[in-house]
DNA sequence: TCCACAGTTCGATTCACACCGAAGCAAGAT
DNA sequence: ATCTTGCTTCGGTGTGAATCGAACTGTGGA
């Protein structure tokens, strides 16, 4: 009887599958063919892999017309992958390529459903600085001042109490090795950014591309010091 | 360019290796043979696995005599495995392994050929406290006062100079996360305990079982404060 | 109705790697 | 010195799994 962690780790421990999972870290739901392209394998092979990932409940799938949309099965899975990246970075720091495309990824990217990268870290720092957030390790708490601040921005906290997903959560950022904001509030912030058209998701990567004006507005809104 | 997380996940995703890693999650440092037994494979196969785990820096190894002690490379690795266990439980709640309450093992056990566990740590602390021992990291030195103290107990240091084995050495205790005394002196102490019948070795484990009177005598001899 | 496209199933191939037996090496023990 | 023990190296075997070509199902559009 082999431990269950073996099965999960073995699923991630295949190059094609881990490429798919990384692609899904953008939070977007992708079709089977898109994932096959991402992993650089044929559709047949991808189909087999995806079936396994769904069966093991690492992914969930939604059928829409003749497409099948896959996404990570919740925050737990995303967090596990993030943790794996953390460890691989701390073991092999040279592995972080320093290409120009990579720089954008480090600046601001999607981590499942919230903002990561140096901008995400700056946001977190600023919220702490302003007294809106209290951070103790992995757990984070919104202060009264923070509740007021976000209520003024249009957040309706009452609606959120129904969900069991934590309001705030710190997520360790692999490129910065510091916390950024996850949880429902982290998700709200990035959705707010998109709805205001301050930034758009890059088509086939996890990069979040801010417009110059959007970046300025964002930094002003959250009192982030520009570098 | 395959992502690094693939490599790490693949390492964990082998039944034999994950059994070893789980065994090491107890915090204990284990030898190659112990791990081979744990994984139910031959020593040769285990040796190959362990080499990979060390090369990839998931494990660290310490050579002590002809034994090789393996342990998890820090908290990061332990945390990743913990995370994997969490996910597998949330996916498959049926498999809940209840860890054996090895309190006796934590209290006092054999570590290669000397005393470990909370009692071993207390002994080390007391020797430092009394000024018999000087500890700088892994290296430890017997003071003049210490030499006198042990000479009075019957140790003949002259005979020991022939051996190249270090007289004193600190050995990291993983249940306690603190040093205990290894080296020839550490061995002498535990042999002394056995010869005085203050304690006996448990048959199939590394537990050292003190008699009530033996424990009292031991603590008095080394001025260990009883808790 | 026919075609195009998304995804799956089947069969065959190929290859990596976990595994063990045997032998070798190193470090204590006797 | 000789034996025992812990670990490693080498060579050969076998199995599992990833892969793709080809053919099939099902959906949507022309």
- Cβ atoms of residues A190 and A115 within 8 Å: yes
pLDDT tens digits, one per residue of B53-65: 999 999 999 888 8
pLDDT tens digits, one per residue of A196-208: 999 988 876 788 9
Please tell me whether residues B26 and B128 are part of one structural domain: no
User: Model confidence at B27, in pLDDT bands (50, 70, 90)?
Assistant: low
Residue A226 covered by a domain: no
Please tell me whether residues B29 and B89 are part of one structural domain: yes
B45 touches strand C (CB under 7 A): yes
B114 touches strand C (CB under 7 A): no
B15 touches strand C (CB under 7 A): yes
Residue B172: Cβ-neighbour burial (10 angstroms; 0-12, 13-18, 19+): middle
**Which nucleotide lies nearest residue A10, CA to C1'?**
D17
pLDDT tens digits, one per residue of A93-114: 666 555 556 778 888 888 888 8
Q: Is the model's pLDDT at B52 over the cut of 90? A: yes
**Count of domains in chain A?**
2
Last residue of a domain, one of B99, B131, B153: B99
Residue B227 covered by a domain: no
User: Model confidence at A139, in pLDDT bands (50, 70, 90)?
Assistant: low
Please tell me whether residues B65 and B133 are part of one structural domain: no
Q: How far apart are CA B55 and CA B189, in angstroms?
A: 36
B225 touching chain A per CB within 8 A: no
Q: Which two tokens stand for residue B86?
A: 């969490």
**Partner residue opposite A4 with nearest CB, options B2, B11, B92:** B92
Residue B211 covered by a domain: yes
- Cβ atoms of residues A174 and A115 within 8 Å: no
Please tell me whether residues A143 and A96 are part of one structural domain: yes
B187 touching chain A per CB within 8 A: no
- Report chain B's mean pLDDT, rounded to a whole number: 82
Note down the domain range covering A67. Answer: 4-72
A31 touching chain B per CB within 8 A: no
Residue with more model confidence, B223 or B75: B223
Please tell me whether residues A38 and A56 are part of one structural domain: yes
Please tell me whether residues A94 and A27 are part of one structural domain: no
Residue B11: Cβ-neighbour burial (10 angstroms; 0-12, 13-18, 19+): buried
Q: Is the model's pLDDT at B175 over the cut of 70? A: no
B18 touching chain A per CB within 8 A: yes
| Nearest-by-CA chain A residue for B54 | A91
Nearest to A130 by CA among A142, A139, A120: A142
CATH number at residue B16: 1.10.10.10
Tell me the C-alpha to C-alpha distance, in Å, between residue A98 and each of A26, A91, B140: 20, 17, 44
Are B86 and A76 inside 8 Å of each other by CB? yes
Last residue of a domain, one of A72, A92, A108: A72
Provide Rg for chain A, Cα atoms. 18
The reported pLDDT for the residue numbered B1 is 47
The reported pLDDT for the residue numbered B200 is 85
The reported pLDDT for the residue numbered A113 is 83
Please tell me whether residues A21 and A53 are part of one structural domain: yes
Residue B153 covered by a domain: yes
Please tell me whether residues A171 and A90 are part of one structural domain: yes
Cβ neighbors of B110 (< 8 A, separation 6 or more) are: B116, B190, B201, B206, B207, B208
Q: What is the mean pLDDT of residues A39-44?
A: 96
Q: How far apart are CA B120 and CA B122, in angstroms?
A: 5
- Cβ atoms of residues A14 and A49 within 8 Å: yes
- Cβ atoms of residues B36 and B43 within 8 Å: yes
Please tell me whether residues A134 and A213 are part of one structural domain: yes
- Cβ atoms of residues B1 and A77 within 8 Å: no
Q: What is the mean pLDDT of residues B167-189?
A: 72
User: In angstroms, how far is D10 C1' from B65 CA?
Assistant: 25
ipTM of this complex prediction, to 2 decimal places:
0.74
Please tell me whether residues B135 and B200 are part of one structural domain: yes
Please tell me whether residues A27 and A137 are part of one structural domain: no
Q: Is the model's pLDDT at B66 over the cut of 80? A: yes
Note which residues in 130-159 of chain B have CB less than 8 A from chain A.
Answer: none
Q: How far apart are CA B136 and CA A212, in angstroms?
A: 55
Please tell me whether residues A137 and A117 are part of one structural domain: yes
């Amino acid at each position: 009887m082999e431990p269950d962690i073996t099965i999960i780790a073995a699923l991630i421990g295949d190059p094609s599958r881990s490429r798919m999972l990384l692609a899904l870290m953008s939070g977007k739901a992708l079709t089977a063919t898109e994932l096959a392209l991402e992993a650089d394998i044929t559709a047949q092979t991808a189909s087999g892999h995806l079936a396994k990932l769904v069966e093991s409940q690492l992914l969930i799938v939604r059928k829409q017309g003749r497409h099948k949309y896959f996404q990570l099965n919740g925050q737990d899975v995303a967090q596990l992958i993030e943790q794996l990246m953390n460890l691989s970075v701390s073991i092999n720091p040279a592995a972080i390529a320093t290409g120009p495309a990579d720089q954008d990824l480090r600046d601001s990217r999607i981590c499942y459903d919230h903002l990561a990268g140096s901008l995400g870290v700056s946001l977190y720092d600023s919220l702490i600085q302003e007294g809106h957030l209290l951070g103790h390790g992995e757990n984070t708490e919104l202060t009264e001042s923070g509740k007021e601040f976000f209520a003024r921005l249009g957040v309706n906290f009452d609606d959120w109490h129904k969900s069991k997903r934590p309001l705030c959560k710190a997520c360790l950022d692999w490129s910065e090795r510091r916390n950024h904001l996850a949880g429902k509030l982290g998700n709200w912030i990035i959705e707010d950014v998109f709805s205001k058209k301050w930034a758009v998701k890059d088509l086939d990567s996890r990069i979040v591309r801010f417009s110059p004006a959007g970046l300025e507005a964002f930094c002003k809104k959250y009192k982030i010091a520009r570098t």
